[in-house]
Amino acid sequence: MIQLTAIPVSALVDEPVHIQATGLTPFQMVSFQASLEDESGNMFYSQAHYRANEFGEVDLKHAASLGGDYMGVHPMGLFWSLKPEKLLTRLLKKDVMNKPFQVQLKLYDLELIVNNKAASAPKASLTLERWYVAPGVTRIQVREGRLRGALFLPPGEGRFPGVIDLFGGLGGLLEFRASLLASRGFASLALAYFNYEDLPAKPEITDLEYFEEAANFLLRHPKVFGPGVGVVSVCQGVQIGLSMAVNLKQVTATVLINGTNFPFGIPQVYRGKIYQPFPYSAQLISTSALGLLELYRIYETTEVGASQYLFPVEEAQGHFLFIVGEGDKIINSKAHAEQAIGQLRRHGKNNWTLLSYPGAGHLIEPPYSPLCCASMTRDLKLHWGGEVIPHAAAQEHSWKEIQRFLRKHLIPDMTSPL
């Protein structure tokens, strides 16, 4: 009897799943197919082809895919190789608390696959649940003063290290990373800063005092460790995270994923200081062979006069974790990270770590998330970049390093005298 098993059937999205097929004919060729429907009804699909061993078994932990969406030994390949049926669609979880993504896993005889479509019913199938929040995590809507966001608290009495989570140019409120961080023991504030509720849709300035209020809000919470908080930021959020690290003593650990070392778009303002946005070179916008916009060349930070726009990162008292995808087609993030590190070095600082991933694109997300190499954003077809297998490896490695970094710099040394 053919059986398809997956352990665990229900798990957090950053947890691996052990998938096996048994009861096959020795050396039988089979196709594993995965599908997922997002909250908007968009479908995502993946497939991989395997040969059973002499015992009629396929164990994805050890067996190599011989074809399909990836090749080689990749136990979680069916998850991170999911592709949208509708081009330029990004997989984004919105309701993190109430329902998981469901992944339908089906096993077919490869001989009955015609033009990548099954010509008969599957030999076996099952449904997996992929959650963005662990049991016991609580979500608190934040509307305090002008702050807007969602606070996620781990189960238990606490106290917990506090983290502010910042996304980029999509605006609104994205919660999936904060909910996962809370599932891993962090009190995480998913912070909106434009285009959400009563926040301006197109702000004319970035007011850093708003983010200072968020840090103080988190530190006042009885379940949050002091004296400092962390920031996890990506893309447009990085310019804010970096500025917070420079200006706010409350910020002691900052994760910067594929961003710049200067403000862009609009000025930043903090207590009378104004950071002017770096001027971009529109003539350096490029278009890929598929008609996708690439923006990674528009900021020439090595030109004469460029230094006046760069954040004085040497003034930061906390620690930095720079994470860059070398295949990023939106921001030249490796160059910007290396420039910031150069500033730190010249001032005798060693408060930084750089993780640079060849083949990874712009949207480095939690482990096993499908690569989104291009999507439609604000009516623009943007090329985020990345290659499927190295991008997946970068996501898995960086997620562990982010948690290690935050714990190291946010959890007080309990052995030190009070």
User: Catalytic amino acids?
Assistant: 235, 328, 362
* Paired tokens of 324: 């860059």
* Run of H or E residues at 243: helix 236-247
Residues 6+ away with beta carbon under 8 Å from 310: 261, 262, 301, 339, 340, 343
Q: Which region, left, alpha or beta, applies to residue 158 given φ > 0 means left and ψ of -120 to 50 means alpha? A: left
- Find out whether 84 and 46 touch, Cβ atoms under 8 Å: no
- Find out whether 373 and 193 touch, Cβ atoms under 8 Å: no
| CB hemisphere CA count around 186 (13 angstroms) | 28
Integer Rg of the chain from CA: 23
Phi, psi of 240 (to 5 degrees): -75, -45
3-state secondary structure of 406: helix
Q: How many angstroms separate the CA atoms of 124 and 28, rounded?
A: 15
Single out the residue of 85, 66, 69 nearest to residue 77, CA to CA: 69
Phi, psi of 393 (to 5 degrees): -65, -40
Give strand ranges (E) for 218-307. Answer: 229-234, 251-257, 268-270, 273-275, 286-287, 293-294
- Tokens 């109430």 map to which residue? 98
Residues 6+ away with beta carbon under 8 Å from 272: none
